Structures are given as structure tokens and as C-alpha cells.
Chain A
Amino acid sequence: MANAKGPREIRLSTTPDADALAQLRLGDIVYLDGLMYTAREGVYIRALEDKANIPLDLPGQSAANFHCSPAARINPDGSFEMGAITATASFRFAKWLPEWLAKTGTKLVIGKGGMSSKDYKSYFVPNGAIYLSTVGYGTGALLGRGIERVESVHWQEELGLAQAMWLIRCRKMGPFIVASDGDGNCLFERENERISRNLAEVYEGTRPATLKRFGETDDKSDELI
């Protein structure tokens, strides 16, 4: 999928060192090798609020947290079947991520939609972490091809299959897009800013709603996350 004008493509370990992270630029395409784990609200609540012991050695085993629930099943013999994996929207997890990054040493947060530059600057940069976005959000089958094997699943009885903590061995899993950098800049905010310049023209002549609702904004450059 590379072409002469297209974005830069990079192979990256799921336990990357500081030098590898420092070379990443907004909009780079990344493919991952190594172990990644899934964690979202269920895991964060159980580990951070209920103070359960995290069943993995983090970041020793993995420094890559995928905001994801796989399409998967556990077979009667205990083996796993994982078809497609796709990220879920990350902004909902901002409540837990500062503590999670500090506690687990996670360096790569992989998900959908990214966080705000404020989030990046306040706790990604201090923890040396980078945000990677999945591509198109629907490339579950391509990402599925990057699964070498499912190593284990934890807390599935407590949290259910969708919220459980899956440990996945990846080989050239991708594509992902670098959505934050070492300075805390945000790819999506950069794109939004460019798009917003055009919006007044697109909206010209349209009519604001007669009936307002509490909590609404009419500033089109606002983000609603």
C-alpha cells in the first residue's frame, strides 16, 4: 500500500525504546511486532478502582495497550479463535489513563480517535508515551492477519469476553497512524484546524435550529469529545 507520495512506513516493537519513539512523526504509518494487551474501561476499573492485581508483568511483557475488544471465542479445549480486531474510541478512557500509564509503563496507546493535545502534553509526554490510531477504524481483518497467536486471556469471567484482558502476539500488525508526538502535538487537531477554515463557506445560507437545546455548541471548530 506504500506509494512514492504516501506516508512513511515504520516497523516498531511493542516494547519500544526512547530512540524508536523519538523518531515518530505525526502521520507516519506504523506496523507492530511483539506482545500487545487489550485494556479498556472494565480493566481500568478493576485494576485502578478495585485495586485488583494486574495479571501481567507490565511493561516487561508489553508496553502496548490496545483499546479494543476482539471478535473472539474461547474453544472448549481452552484454545482461542480470534478473527478480527478493531479499536474503540479512546477519549472515554481519559479518566483512567494518567494513572494507568504511570503504573504500567505503557509506551504505546493504540485506539480510535486519539486524545486531545492537552491529554498528550499532561500525561503522555511525561510518561514517554505515544498514541497510535488504527486506520479507517474498520480494518479489523487486516489487523487480524497481524495476530501471530493469542497468548492468554485474563479476567474473562469477571469482565466478559469483550472487556477481558487479551494478550496478543503480533507480527507486522498494522497499519496504525502516529497521532501524537514527543511534544504532545495531535494529528487530529491539526487536521481539524485545516478543515475548520472551510466550514463557514460550506454552512453559508443554512439556518440554525429554531429550537435550542441545553448543552449545545454552535462553534463548528469545537470538538464534541
Chain B
Amino acid sequence: MIAIDLIQSTAETLMDKAAIEIPDDYLAGLKAAAAAEDGDLSSFVLQAMLENYEAAKEDRRAMCGDTGTPRWYVKMGNETVIEGGPVALEAALRRATANATNGVPLRPNRVHPLWRTDHDNNVGIGAPEIEYGYEPGGEWIDLITVHKGGLFGTDYRMLFPSDGIQGIKRFFLDSLVAFGKRGLACQPAIIGIGLGGCKDTCMVLGKRAACLRTVGDRNSDPRIAAMEEEFTQLGNSIGMGAMGFVGKSMVIDTHIEVGYCHTGGMQMSVHAFCLSSRRAVARVFPDGRVEYRTDPDWFTDYQRRETVEWQMPKGHEKSA
């Protein structure tokens, strides 16, 4: 059984890490973009960003003043047991969110959509979101926090099979050009694309593609992996860089996730995980061990399974 106090204290540490420490994969991606950028103003902006990450870590202050909307992705093994059960788990994550908002401090962004009530702690109706995934085998729990920012850069379009790859490219470019102007998308960004599913799951897939995969990671379907690389190049050929200035650093990486959809449609969503790509992960074990990392490792073969039954890989059954 995993102790609930350990889950809450780990979650508080994760909130702090996500807000302050840029993940290494994104940092390496941005450094590569800065090295390739030749636009005057865009180059200046990227250098300032690199200095900003250093300042955030040195001073232990949030890397961006808009600390986004904190949310949780929780993954468990099939044998995981939490002290107090799922209700205690959700209470612990809500407490950690409220405490860290005050502690780091984070910006208390979350308000009621109509009455604009602000609890000053990023907790309210439906906030923070808590989403779940499960893996065969294992007694651990993965706590993943993502503080995605931004009101801009996300969009949805109902495409049809006849729109094809060129229709997908069109919407990809439309989203980047539209939200890239004046830098509203806070690019260069990790672009997540959801294809298929239903409208809601299409949005979920695209958001997870942006937030739960690391720079350099490729989809396990080689044809989708090739599209990811092609789209990154396409995005960087627009001629637009950081803040919408002339340049070529728009996309740090592209991640595409698919879900089976209605035979008549081809839903598509686009999401931009901004310059402050805030994510932090920890695996907590029943014996009290906590392992911190920055790769959510969400999209396992199991998460992308296509079949009714799931055949455990050899040797996997015992690893639980």
C-alpha cells in the first residue's frame, strides 16, 4: 500500500519542480533552435529565454509569471493500492495544488468562468483536472503534473477522409500561422496533434501528445513518426520565429497521437505546449521509494493498444 502522506508531499515537490525547472529534453531542443536561428530579434528572444531558465533555477522562482493551469495525470499499475483509496488520492492532489500555489508561489489562475470567483489556490470546480491511466503489472503510482499555459495555440477542425494529408497539413499551418503572429502561442513550442477519436477525445489526444511526450520521442507507428518529422520541418519553414518575429524557430518538436474515429470523419486538434513546457513526474512505490523524472512515458504500447485482449509481453507478468 502506498502512503497518502507520501503522495501529497511528492505532489508538492512536483508542483515546485514543474514551475521552476525546464525539462532537459525541451532545453536541448531550444538550444538547438537558438543555434540555428538567424533572425535578429528571434535570436535575441531565444537567448533571453535560455537566460531565463537559468535565472529560474538559480533563484528558485517560477520560470514564467503565468504558471498555467496545473493538472494531474495519474498512472497506476494493475496491483496498486493507495492508502484511503481514490478519494483520498484526489484530496491529496488538490491539497498539494493549493499548498504549492501559495508556497512556490504560482499565479492563482483558476477562477469560476462566470462569477470569476478566485480561491487564490488553483482549486475549484473541476480544477485541477485529474486524469487516469493504467498499466498491466506494477504496484507503483506515477504522478505527472503539467502546468500548460496559454489561451492561444489550440484549435479543432472536423476533417474528412477526402481532406487527406494535405488537409491535415493545411490545418497545422493555419494554427501555427494564426496563433504564431505576435507570438500568441508562446513559440517555439512542442506541437501536439490529435487525429481521430471523437471531438472530445481528439482534443485529449492532442493535448497529451503535446504535454506527455518528450522532445525527440517518435510515435511507434513508423509512418506517423515520419509525419512528425515532416511537420516539424514544415512548421519551421513558415519564416516565423519566437514572438512572431522573422525567423525559423516555430516548432521544437511535433507529436501525433491517433484514436479510432467514425468512418466518415477525420477529427484533428492542434495544441502548443509553450516555451515554458512545465511538466514533472515521480514514481512512488509501496516501500516508500520516490523516483523523480521528466519523461511522463505515458504512451506505452498498452496505451496505444488496438486489440480486444492484451497479451502481456514475456517476463512482464512477474515484474509486478
Quick check: is B80 within 8 A (CB to CB) of the other chain? no
Q: Is B61 an interface residue (CB 8 A)?
A: yes
Q: How far is the CA of A218 from the CA of B171 in the complex (A)?
A: 11
A208 close to chain B: CB less than 8 A: yes
| Residue numbers in B under 8 Å from A224 (CB-CB) | 178-179, 181
What is the minimal beta-carbon distance from A211 to any residue of chain B, in angstroms?
6
Of B47, B151, B183, B244, chain A has the most CB atoms within 10 Å of the CB of B183
Give Cα distance in the complex from A84 to B152, angstroms. 21
Contact yes or no, B184 A140, CB < 8 A: no
B contact residues, range: 35 or more
**With an 8 A cutoff between CB atoms, is B102 at the interface?**
yes
A contact patch SS: mixed
A141 with B56, Cβ < 8 A, contacts A83-B61, A136-B49, A177-B41 known: yes
Q: Determine if A109 is an interface residue (Cβ-Cβ < 8 Å).
A: no
A100 contacts chain B at the CB level, 8 A cutoff: no
A198 touches B239 (CB 8 A): yes
Q: In the assembly, what is the distance between CA of A206 and CA of B177, in Å? A: 14
On whether the beta carbons of B107 and A69 are closer than 8 Å, the reply is: yes
Rounded to whole angstroms, the CA-CA distance of A149 and B246 in the bound complex is 36
Complex CA gap A71/B276 in Å reads 14
**B49 and A207 contacting across the interface, CB-CB below 8 Å:** no
Specify which chain A residues have a CB less than 8 angstroms from the CB of B61 in the assembled complex: 71, 83-84, 140-141, 144
Instruction: Report Cα–Cα, A211/B170, bound state, in Å.
Output: 13
> Of B63-71, B86-94, B130-138, which binds chain A?
B63-71
Give the residues from 72 to 95 in chain A that come closer than 8 angstroms, CB to CB, to chain B. Answer: 72-73, 81-89
Q: A155 on the interface (CB 8 Å rule)?
A: no
Q: Which of B153-161, B213-221, B290-298, B312-320 contacts A (4 or more CB under 8 A)?
A: B153-161
- Chain B residue with minimal CB distance to A137? B186
B234 touches A (CB below 8 Å): yes
Cross-chain contact A162 with B163 (CB below 8 angstroms): no
In the assembled complex, the CB of A157 is this many whole angstroms from the nearest CB of chain B, namely 11
Interface residues of B (CB under 8 A from A): 19, 40-41, 43-49, 51-53, 55-56, 59, 61-67, 102, 104-109, 111, 116, 118, 120, 151-152, 157-160, 162-164, 166-167, 169-171, 173-174, 177-179, 181-184, 186, 234, 237-240, 242-246, 274-276
Pull 30 A–B residue pairs with CB atoms less than 8 Å apart, ordered by A. Answer: A1-B51, A68-B65, A71-B62, A73-B102, A84-B67, A89-B151, A89-B184, A112-B183, A113-B184, A135-B243, A137-B183, A138-B276, A140-B61, A140-B62, A140-B64, A140-B65, A140-B276, A141-B63, A143-B65, A144-B61, A160-B111, A162-B108, A177-B243, A188-B182, A195-B239, A195-B246, A206-B170, A207-B169, A209-B157, A210-B163
Which 5 interchain pairs have the tightest Cβ spacing? A86-B65, A160-B118, A141-B56, A140-B65, A83-B61
